[in-house]
Structure 1
Amino acid sequence: MASFTDAVEEIRRRIDIVDLISQDVALRKGGRNLKGLCPFHNERTPSFHVSPEKQIWKCFGCGAGGDIFSYIQKRDNLSFPEAVEWLARRAGVTIEYGGRGGEQVRSEKEQILRVNEVACAFFQKMLRESAKARDYLAKRGLSESAVEKYKLGYAPDSWDTLVRHLAREGVPASYALKAGLIIARDGSGGYYDRFRDRLIFPIFDAFDRIVGFGGRALGDDPAKYINSPESVVFAKNRILYGLNFARRAIVEQDMVIVVEGYMDAITTQEAGFENTVATMGTALTEEHVNLLGRFTKKAVLAFDADSAGMAAALRSSFFFERSGFDVRILNMPKGEDPDSLLRAGDGSRFAILVKEALPILDHRVKLALAKHDLSTDEGKAAALKSAIRVLAETESIVERERLIKQLAKYHPNFSTGTARAEDHIRAEVEAARRRLTRGAQEQTESKVSAQEGFRRQNFLDKLERIVLGMIIAEKVEPDKVFDALPSNKFSGESTRQLAEALHSQYLELGKIHVETLVTKLEGTPAGDLLVDLTVGYDPSELNYSLEEVVRTIELEKKRMRHARMRELAQKFQEGVIKRGDEEFEEYWQLVRELKGANADRVIKASESDS
């Protein structure tokens, strides 16, 4: 066992940041670093950098950054101790906690996750004892290995079997209640099981933790499916069923298949389409799409062929398009769903349907046209108007142009020439786009301007960052830097804090250990700056001599002091400040520093001018 502090360092030694992050993000080589799409905000151009050398990460789009611990904290919304525990389990490191009882009191999240594990084992045991549930799974074509892989279970037809089991296992009822496994009885006290006579599907998050359960009725309950209620570990709009199993296949194939429901996901994955995930009785949300965007920007929606399935696909498409996805809709045969199609042995047919899935824009245009009678001029005009509204909402010029050519035959001017009809449609689409985007464009321009203003750094700050970057990149000995430019003489708050932290570590260890310092400074301006300088600087930007940079810093500081002295002199001459004022004392100190023996004469001259 290792103490908490020792465990942190041991985990850091055992877990490579590239291996950790590449499970979530498709990383590509980009110079000395690896790059990918940020998992924490929506973007189309990669701005997420990982440094294999320094074992840290940084997104230059949203500003987030840190080490393996801060990555897990942000990814899973964990505290630092929780992130350490999660990584310790992954690394095989056992943490010994001090204090009364030798154990750390688990957080509410950890307690609920533990309760879910206990309940899952119970449901699995009940499945082995239920012939009815096993027969149902056999009829659905699920193998024993699949049942084991997905940890399927059965909730017996009883009001309190799970309640009593959890009590025997020492699980506090309060946590079972928060997990949604049991329900408090009205008035009479006590609890009863939420899931009764149901096939149980454990719901995993993307990282293999059981966060909730889904239950399919095996009796005559009118509620065919029910799920765990939301909790601190389970939010339906951020969980996709099967993603924990599909994650690597999605990255490898650079495409995700989205289906509806647990059985569709299991059957599709077991048929070899391992890059499949499922919604859980709710529509796809923007959060779902952003989650998938960590792994790919290509999606095929394989929803049921009924009108509800198609409507769900169309609702989802807006989020996919807004996130820059290439999203397509699979043309499911009437009356079929992925589960029924694949259980019939039509794996090759399903593969063809995936390959031939229509781009979402084509599908929406097709539906818009289908609402009208295309055999009449009035119907064609109405259909064209509907299709133009669809085209106006898409950002892709290439896609708009492709479909404008297809729509030309419905325009009244088509008989006089294809080009003329296309020009008319193009003009109408652009007019519709201007109406839609005028307000949004103004907001975007304002936001970009504000961001640029925020990122501007003054010259002195840039110079100090170069010095710190040279230390971090090991281009200069730290003691030489701090002899020439003491750490407490850095002018900016974040640069001074980082310089002092680097100097302190160097005095203690005789070297700079960036990974340890990133963890120590987590959440501070100095910590953010350390990550920026480690991941963001190209070594070619640091090809200066230390003497040259320090000399320039001193000259810049002197220039700034002269400018400040002139500003205060102007105020003194105008009577804005007087002897005894705080700003006068600053003025006097600057004059003494910069004018030396002539200081009194300068002050008197200023007074005579006032």
Structure 2
Amino acid sequence: MSLNEIEEIKQRLDIVEHIGQYVALKKAGANYKGVCPFHSEKTPSMMVSNQKQIWKCFGCGKGGDIFAFTMEAEHLEFGDALRMLAQKAGVTLQTRTTAEHQTQSRKDRIYRTNMLSAKIFQRILSQSSLGEVAREYLQKRKITSAVQEKFLIGFAPKNFDLKATLSKYELTAGDLQNAGSPERFFDRIMFPIFDVLGNVIAFTGRAVANIEPKYLNSPETPIFNKGRVLYGLNFAKGAIKQKDFVILVEGQMDVIALHQSGVENTVASSGTAITETQINTLSKYTNNFILALDNDTAGITTTKKVIEILLKLDLNGKIINFGKYKDAGELFENEPTAWPEALKNAEEMFDWLINQELSAAGSIQYIENKKKIIKSLLPVIAVIQDPTRLEYCVNKLATKTQTKAENIISAVEKMWQKKTEEKPNKNTKIALTPEEQLLAIILGEPQAGVKFAEQLDQVVWQSIDNQQIASVVKKCYTNKTLASDRIQFISSVKTTLDSRLSEKIDSWQFWLSELWPNLTTSLATELITEHFGRLNTKSREAEKELLASQIRQAQEKNDTKKVIELMQQLNELTKEVK
């Protein structure tokens, strides 16, 4: 991987078009604006610059180039995002540096270890007598061999030496350990967990014998974060986009049963409670959620938590009623024809929530029951940001509990007032110091800054950050051809700096594009000259104040010689100012 390859990818891919595949963007002056997908917000605070090919959210502070966005959106490391975008752009990557190669090599070996393990487990399930007990179980659950092959379902028998088998492929005990030790599984049906690109990143093993735990999951590894991953998303993402809704179930068997029946827009969490991160990931594909979680106490509790996340993120949700069945898998196993009707009759999520509370509390004729219901749902209503949805939920709760809507609104407003720990909304307007303005203009039109490079050392920088950036900018000017390519110049500067300073430069570029969307070299030259003048004047005034302070201190000490010396310096400085 080289800097040239990165720049070639950036030149071939348009960042506005790329980010527009994740969120809706609208023209806003010289830039584009959209709702940030990385935190909850109603008012768009993410800016995308077509001219500079960067993005910045002024709500959560995240920003960067097309690589930074892809890493955040797809939950990828830089190397994975690089390969993904290179493939999209049609760029062939060159050999990496030694350090990059070693880092990626480790991950590649983890991917390879997991994929080979999955294929070995699958071969045991489909071909070996050791897999007989697992085949019987899957046959009982009516899972076809074609679906078993699609999901790479396998079996890890007791006393099977996976390590020895993988050693034939030049994989070591260290590779197994880095991959989360897939050899830990025995007497278990193996469900590989895939990332969104289809790589095997972990496993869930279901016991076929009477052993605990019933389900065993891989630990987290450099490529597996269970709070981010959704089981089946690699197979489901196309169908989710096409149908514009996702079905969220609780386990792998439910996903497999629904996919087998043609309901391919189905996913599940991966061995953890459903997280806001997972919901945010799914919201890239649709705003509409069907919750088909288990019909038991734990499943109902999980459903309530997910509803609160959906309301907070202003997403739409409905709840499936399984009737006498425990979950989606059991329904499809026993009565698959009942699914279309169950889907059609799915209940709007807040209605379902109220009915759950009504059922638990008892008759609303008793004031205590009414208060209990309202009290339990107030925190849920308080997270709603959309006024239309808020009005709907307040009126629905008021009607169901025979309470005045204004009383509920009043209670919600009191809850809002108590949330003093919440940060105020950040304004998207950017205010830069004179030092930052100077550097922003130079970076925005580096060709204009060539003749001012030496002056960067003469500025008495008030900010250490700005001094560091100025030093790097000056070094980049030693490459005389670099200044003619603004994107290449900024990239070179940012590559030398840490991520914090790099993000600061991105913010400056948005400030510049708002004030001067069509900045020319001649205009930039005028602005740079003006800013240098201001900073030099400010520096001399600061020097004069410092000398005056030192003179007073010398006078207090009766140091006549020092006073005369400092007075001469002050006179010389005053002449310069005049």
- TM-score in terms of structure 1 length: 0.75
Q: Helix, strand or coil for the counterpart of 1:146?
A: helix
1:93 aligns with 2:68: no
Question: Could you tell me which residue of structure 1 aligns to residue 421 of structure 2?
Answer: 443
Q: Which amino acid aligns with 1:512?
A: R
Q: Secondary structure, in 3 states, of the residue corresponding to 1:513?
A: helix
Check the 8 A contact 1:306/1:334 in 2, yes or no: no
Aligned counterpart for 2:252 among listed residues 245, 262, 274: 262
SS at match of 1:263: helix
How far off is 1:40 after superposition?
A: 4.0
1:520 corresponds, among 470, 495, 510, to: 495
Shift of 1:426: 2.8
Question: 1:301 Cα shift?
Answer: 1.6
Give, in whole Å, the separation in 2 of the partners of 1:261 and 1:328.
19
Q: Which residue of 1 aligns with 2:123?
A: 125
Q: 2: distance between equivalents of 1:340 and 1:541?
A: 62
Aligned to 2:27: 30
**CA-CA distance at 1:5 after TM superposition:** 5.7
Q: Which amino acid aligns with 2:252?
A: Y
- The letter for the 1-side match of 2:111 is L
5 Å matches for 1:508-587? 508=482, 510-514=484-488, 516-517=491-492, 520-521=495-496, 523-524=498-499, 527-534=502-509, 537-538=512-513, 541-542=516-517, 545-546=523-524, 548-557=526-535, 559-561=537-539, 563-564=541-542, 567-568=545-546, 571-572=549-550, 574-575=552-553
Distance (whole Å) between structure 1 residues aligned to residue 285 and residue 331 of structure 2: 27
Letter paired with 1:595: K
Give the whole-Å Cα distance in 2 for the aligned partners of 1:310 and 1:366. Answer: 12
Residue 339 of structure 1, aligned match among 329, 335, 340? 329
- Per the TM alignment, residue 327 of structure 1 is displaced from its structure 2 partner at its CA by 3.7
Q: For the Cα contact (< 8 Å) 1:518–1:531, is it kept in 2?
A: no
**Range with greater deviation from structure 2 (401-410 or 109-118):** 401-410
**Counterparts of 1:221 and 1:207 in 2: how far apart (Å)?**
33
Query: AA paired with 1:468?
Result: L
- Runs (5+) with no aligned partner, structure 1: 183-192, 415-420, 472-477, 599-610
User: Are positions 1:302 and 2:292 aligned together?
Assistant: yes
Q: 3-state DSSP class of the match of 1:538?
A: helix
Contact map agreement 2:320 2:342 (CA 8 A) in 1: no
Query: Which residue of structure 2 lines up, in the alignment, with residue 482 of structure 1?
Result: 450
Task: Give the deviation of 1:265 after TM superposition.
Answer: 1.8
Contact 1:67-1:519 within 8 A present in 2 as well: no
* Matching residue of 1:59: 57
Alignment of 1:283-302 (within 5 A): 283-302=273-292
Aligned residue runs from structure 1 range 187-198, under 5 A: 193-198=183-188
Contact 2:40 2:312 in 1 (8 A): no
- Whether 1:202 and 2:200 are equivalent positions in the alignment is no
Aligned residue for 2:359?
370
**Partner SS state of residue 202, structure 2:** strand
- Match runs of 1:2-401 below 5 Å: 8=6, 17=15, 25-31=22-28, 33=31, 35-51=33-49, 54-71=52-69, 84=82, 93=92, 95-96=94-95, 104=102, 108-130=106-128, 132=132, 133=134, 136-137=137-138, 140-143=141-144, 145-155=146-156, 157-182=157-182, 193-221=183-211, 223-250=213-240, 255-342=245-332, 344-353=336-345, 356-359=346-349, 361-374=350-363, 377-378=365-366, 380-395=367-382, 396=384, 398-399=388-389, 401=391
* 8 Å CA contact 2:118, 2:154 repeated in 1: yes
Cα shift readout 1:181-210 (whole Å, capped 9, x = no counterpart): 45xxxxxxxxxx433343321101233332
Cα 1:11–1:285 change in 2 (3 A) is: same
Give 1:465-504 correspondences, 5 Å limit.
Answer: 465-469=440-444, 471=445, 478-483=446-451, 488=456, 492-493=466-467, 496-497=470-471, 499-500=473-474, 503-504=477-478
Per the TM alignment, residue 129 of structure 1 is displaced from its structure 2 partner at its CA by: 0.6
Letter in 2 for 1:567: E
Partners of 1:38 and 1:294 within 8 A in 2 = no
For residue 279 of structure 1, report the CA deviation from its aligned partner: 1.9
1:85-111 per-residue CA deviation (whole Å, 9 max, x = no partner) reads 6666775735435779x9747554443
Q: Deviations over 1:16-35 (max 9, x none)?
A: 65676566x23434346555
Distance 2:429 2:563 in 1: 28
When normalised by structure 2's length, the TM-score is: 0.79
Amino acid at match of 2:450: F
Work out the percentage of aligned pairs sharing the same amino acid: 28
**Is the 2:247–2:289 contact (alpha carbons within 8 Å) kept by the matching residues of 1?**
yes
**SS of residue paired to 1:226:** strand
For the residues of structure 2 that align with 1:543 and 1:13, how far apart are their CA atoms?
Answer: 20
Find the aligned partners of 2:400 and 2:103 in 1 and give their Cα distance: 69
Given that 1:497 and 1:526 are in contact with CA atoms closer than 8 Å, whether structure 2 keeps it comes out as no
Distance 1:409 1:319 in 2: 24
Give the C-alpha shift of residue 46 in structure 1: 3.6
Query: Do 1:204 and 1:244's aligned partners in 2 also have CA atoms closer than 8 Å?
Result: yes
Map residues 450-465 of structure 1 onto 2, 5 A cutoff. Answer: 456-459=431-434, 461-462=436-437, 464-465=439-440
Shift of 1:295: 4.5
Please tell me the residue identity of whatever aligns with 2:58: F
Deviations along 1:143-173, one digit per CA (max 9) or x if unpaired, are: 5553343222233x33124232112222211
* 2:230 counterpart SS class: coil
CA shift digits 1:484-525 (9 cap, x unpaired): 675626654366256436634553474333485376346356
Match of 1:236, SS state, is coil
SS in 1 for 2:268: strand
Counterpart Cα distance in 2 of 1:543 and 1:294: 33
CA distance in 2, matches of 1:76, 1:452: 27
Distance apart, 1:581 and its partner CA: 12
Q: Is the 8 A contact 1:485 1:550 kept in 2?
A: no
Structure 2 unmatched ranges of 5 or more: none
Secondary structure, in 3 states, of the residue corresponding to 2:361?
coil
Contact 1:28/1:35 (<8 A) preserved: yes
The secondary structure found in structure 1 opposite 2:198 is coil
Distance of 2:337 and 2:124 partners within structure 1: 30
| Cα distance between partner residues in 2 of 1:586 and 1:393 | 68
User: What SS class does the counterpart of residue 394 from structure 1 fall into?
Assistant: helix
Q: Which has the larger displacement, 208-217 or 583-592?
A: 583-592
Query: Which amino acid is 1:200 matched to?
Result: M
Cα distance between partner residues in 2 of 1:495 and 1:572: 31
* Distance (whole Å) between structure 1 residues aligned to residue 555 and residue 151 of structure 2: 76
Displacement, 1:260? 0.8
Offset from partner CA, 1:198-241 (integer Å, 9 cap, x none): 33211012333321111233455464432223333323222221
